Structure 1
Amino acid sequence: MSAQNQRVDGGFRLGQKGRRTKRKTQRACNHCQRSHLTCNDSRPCTRCLKRGLADTCVDGARKKAKYLLEGSPQMIGTSGGAAIGATRGTPLTNSFGSEAISLEHAVLMNMLATGLAFPVTGQSPRAQQQAVDETHHPLQRAPSGPAVHGLNPVYPQAPGDVYSAVVEPYKYNTGFHFLFKYISRRMGRRDILRVSRAIAHFRPSLVALLRNLTREDLIFMEKSFQRAMLEYEKLIGFVGTPTVVWRRTGEIALVGKEFSILTQWDRQELVATNRFIFELMDAESAVVYWEQFAVHAFENSEHAVMSECRLVRPDGSLVPCAFSFTIKRDLFGIPMAIIGNFLPIL
């Protein structure tokens, strides 16, 4: 293209045959932004010069996402996957349609704020000894909500039982709270930052989808989850591949017998004691999983994500595995269940 064709004139670019084409600008001025008119990069811009507003023509302010403006006053918008912080001790305001969602959001905010400011620089001998002690004395677990279908005989065993037994929303906040305690005690500062950035990456999308849901919606979501577990258990029984199903927090809901044979973990223990999938991985594998989950959690696809990981047996020995997981979403587009398949690398 010749120099004449590239010449810019009054906010327009001259193209081939002398045609004037509008030139896009990165940010409109305050007057054009308010009037929803096309602007250019000049300051003052062409429209303001014609309207006699040259003295007050400045760049307009960028609009923030609605869910960031309506949330906590301590919330800070982020760019490029950087974490979103919040001040610890900020009173919880129920700006959502349900207390359960507000609690989940509060735990995520506190986790991000604390995780990014975590002072750990590496595991000292004392910290390493603490990790060894906690192997025999696991972190305290709290029930997250209504029982999920599984191997425990007290769980619902039929569709009718699921629909009648679930009367409360599932408390996902306790799962994220456990994740925060786990990574703060078992991981170094670099791994904590990686997990925090991963959660900050998908948190805005999660908040946007959860914001308008009511308590009845959340109960419906939990009934759908438990009903799906009935079907998944039948499917896993036919497949013969080491398989685990867990929630978006990582809490294990269903375990195939082949996975128990591979890792030597008792199926009853994994389901009935609120175990989490990242507890069964070494630190690097757990961090990589959260990074991959953050990228694929809300994309419009149900393709399996392929990776590798190292599973940890009860005796501490590692099992290298080829690992894939598929994210199943509910009616509202929120990750409902993650189905993971593991094959040992011999």
Structure 2
Amino acid sequence: MSGTEKRPKKNWRSCVFCRRSHLVCDEQRPCTRCIKRDIAHLCTDENLGNSMGPTTPAPAAEESTGDIGLPPGGAEQLTSAMTRTPSFLPQQPTFVSEHVGSEFSSLNEFLNMLEDPLLVNQSDRQEKSQDDGSKPYDGQETTPIIIDEDQQLKGDNNAPTPKEHFFLTAADPSTEMTPEDRLKLVINAKLEAGLLQPYNYAQGYSRLQNYMDRYMNQYSKQRILKPLSTIRPAFRAIARSLKDVDLVLVEEGFERMLLSYDRVFTSMSMPACLWRRTGEIYRANKEFASLVDCTVDDLRDGKLAIYELMTEESAVNFWEKYGSIAFDKGQKAVLTSCNLRTRDGRRRKPCCFSFTIRRDRYNIPICIVGNFIPIS
């Protein structure tokens, strides 16, 4: 055999699960490994052809370049220049995570509308024309994700559904990766199956905006606008590299934190509650519920927001102090005062007020824990 000749390569095919586990797969179907793992009915070849769309031949632009005197390759440059976004259009920052981009865009729109009162009035008119006859927003509505499994099975009857893929990934005994990488792999499969989602903070900013439009004057809005505008650049700098999987890990950490504070709050005699960075209250003890004249169940899962239980001046004071230390690792606790009000707004309770910011692994505020001491 001459030195220029190459040995023919064997075309080894791997099934979906052997390829994912980076294991050698035999040519029989179902393969031996899938039979041993009791998933023989799901053993199929990985269809690489479906993941890449059909190649489309380039348009014959070079044939006409001689008429207009374009140099070689000029047609491609002309085509790309014609399809490029005009420079005068506003450019939004791009984010790896769709949910982070949604939160940042919502914050931008919120700040822009506060800066221009005409936009606020126009937005109110549009909301009234669209929401006539609809129920008021209670902070609990989320956009459902519908997974049409029947549609997914039409392409390949043997292909696993996203839910099956998640269960198989969670049960995969492979030990060729670190526990942290394996946890991310399982969470990513759970995310794709629609069983786990990052929290939608964009709704929180929308809720705050609607509350301010109804109950606060323009001066108070501007005072809240200032600290939020200082938070925006720091949030953008951190959040641009976050993926949905990272946000899901943060959300799981938040759920574990809620479980721990359930035990802490039941053993405290001081009124206390916990809310997200956009203000929605998720946990509180019975002492705080008694202070604002509502039940403990009313103070769970974002049914009420902390600024809805404060006077206007106290709410502004909180947002100003929160904005000043939101991304400052050196400071996390603030001691101040506030005026709480009952849920119906009829009674006020002056209190000494301290709050502590809890941050996630990326230094983004994940929740705020507040303690209140009534002043008689």
| 1:25-64 equivalence runs, <5 A | none
Question: How far off its partner does 1:314 sit?
Answer: 2.5
Matched, 1:286 2:315: yes
Matched, 1:118 2:148: no
Matched, 1:268 2:297: yes
Question: How far off its partner does 1:144 sit?
Answer: 5.3
- Which AA in structure 2 matches 1:343? I
- Which AA in structure 1 matches 2:304? R
SS of the residue corresponding to residue 227 of structure 1 reads helix
* Separation in structure 2 between the aligned mates of residue 313 and residue 339 of structure 1, nearest angstrom: 19
Task: Mark the CA change 1:256 to 1:104 in structure 2 (over 3 Å): closer, same or farther.
Answer: same
| 1:79-228 equivalence runs, <5 A | 95-118=94-117, 139-143=137-141, 167-228=196-257
Matched, 1:331 2:351: no
* Separation in structure 1 between the aligned mates of residue 138 and residue 252 of structure 2, nearest angstrom: 27
* Separation in structure 2 between the aligned mates of residue 295 and residue 196 of structure 1, nearest angstrom: 12
Is residue 244–residue 254 contact of structure 1 (8 Å, CA) maintained in 2?
Answer: yes
Match of 1:297 in 2: 326
Q: Which protein is bigger by CA-based radius of gyration?
A: 2
Is residue 139–residue 182 contact of structure 1 (8 Å, CA) maintained in 2?
Answer: no
* Separation in structure 2 between the aligned mates of residue 108 and residue 245 of structure 1, nearest angstrom: 22
* Separation in structure 2 between the aligned mates of residue 273 and residue 220 of structure 1, nearest angstrom: 20
Is residue 332–residue 358 contact of structure 2 (8 Å, CA) maintained in 1?
Answer: no
- Can you give the 5+ residue segments of structure 2 that lack an aligned partner in the other structure? 1-86, 120-134, 145-186
After superposition, what is the alpha-carbon deviation per residue over 1:50-88, rounded to whole angstroms, capped at 9, x for unaligned? xxxxxxxxxxxxxxxxxxxxxxx89xxxxxxxxxxxx9x
Question: How far off its partner does 1:166 sit?
Answer: 6.4
* Separation in structure 1 between the aligned mates of residue 241 and residue 197 of structure 2, nearest angstrom: 18
- Which AA in structure 1 matches 2:218? R
Match of 1:67 in 2: none
- Which AA in structure 1 matches 2:348? L
* Separation in structure 2 between the aligned mates of residue 119 and residue 345 of structure 1, nearest angstrom: 41
Question: Which runs of 4 or more aligned residues in structure 1 lie more than 4 Å from their structure 2 counterparts after TM superposition?
Answer: 137-140, 163-166
* Separation in structure 2 between the aligned mates of residue 252 and residue 212 of structure 1, nearest angstrom: 28
* Corresponding residue to 1:315 among 339, 344, 347: 344
Question: How far off its partner does 1:339 sit?
Answer: 0.3
Question: How far off its partner does 1:141 sit?
Answer: 3.3
Is residue 206–residue 334 contact of structure 1 (8 Å, CA) maintained in 2?
Answer: yes
| Number of equivalenced pairs | 229
Matched, 1:240 2:269: yes
After superposition, what is the alpha-carbon deviation per residue over 1:190-227, rounded to whole angstroms, capped at 9, x for unaligned? 00111111110111111111110001000000000011
SS of the residue corresponding to residue 250 of structure 2 reads helix
- Which AA in structure 1 matches 2:329? N
Question: How far off its partner does 1:264 sit?
Answer: 1.2
Task: Mark the CA change 1:266 to 1:145 in structure 2 (over 3 Å): closer, same or farther.
Answer: farther
Report sequence identity in percent: 34
Question: How far off its partner does 1:167 sit?
Answer: 1.0
Question: How far off its partner does 1:240 sit?
Answer: 1.5
SS of the residue corresponding to residue 197 of structure 2 reads coil
SS of the residue corresponding to residue 196 of structure 2 reads coil
Is residue 324–residue 341 contact of structure 1 (8 Å, CA) maintained in 2?
Answer: yes
After superposition, what is the alpha-carbon deviation per residue over 1:147-170, rounded to whole angstroms, capped at 9, x for unaligned? xxxxxxxxxxxxxxxx88961111
SS of the residue corresponding to residue 300 of structure 2 reads helix
* Separation in structure 2 between the aligned mates of residue 258 and residue 282 of structure 1, nearest angstrom: 19
- Which AA in structure 1 matches 2:199? Y
SS of the residue corresponding to residue 267 of structure 2 reads helix
SS of the residue corresponding to residue 321 of structure 1 reads strand
- Can you give the 5+ residue segments of structure 1 that lack an aligned partner in the other structure? 1-72, 75-86, 121-136, 147-162
Question: How far off its partner does 1:303 sit?
Answer: 4.2
Is residue 357–residue 365 contact of structure 2 (8 Å, CA) maintained in 1?
Answer: yes
- Which AA in structure 2 matches 1:294? G
- Which AA in structure 1 matches 2:268? V
Is residue 258–residue 283 contact of structure 2 (8 Å, CA) maintained in 1?
Answer: yes
Match of 2:278 in 1: 249
After superposition, what is the alpha-carbon deviation per residue over 1:3-46, rounded to whole angstroms, capped at 9, x for unaligned? xxxxxxxxxxxxxxxxxxxxxxxxxxxxxxxxxxxxxxxxxxxx
Q: TM-score, normalised by structure 1?
A: 0.61
Q: TM-score, normalised by structure 2?
A: 0.56
Question: How far off its partner does 1:306 sit?
Answer: 0.8
Question: How far off its partner does 1:119 sit?
Answer: 5.2
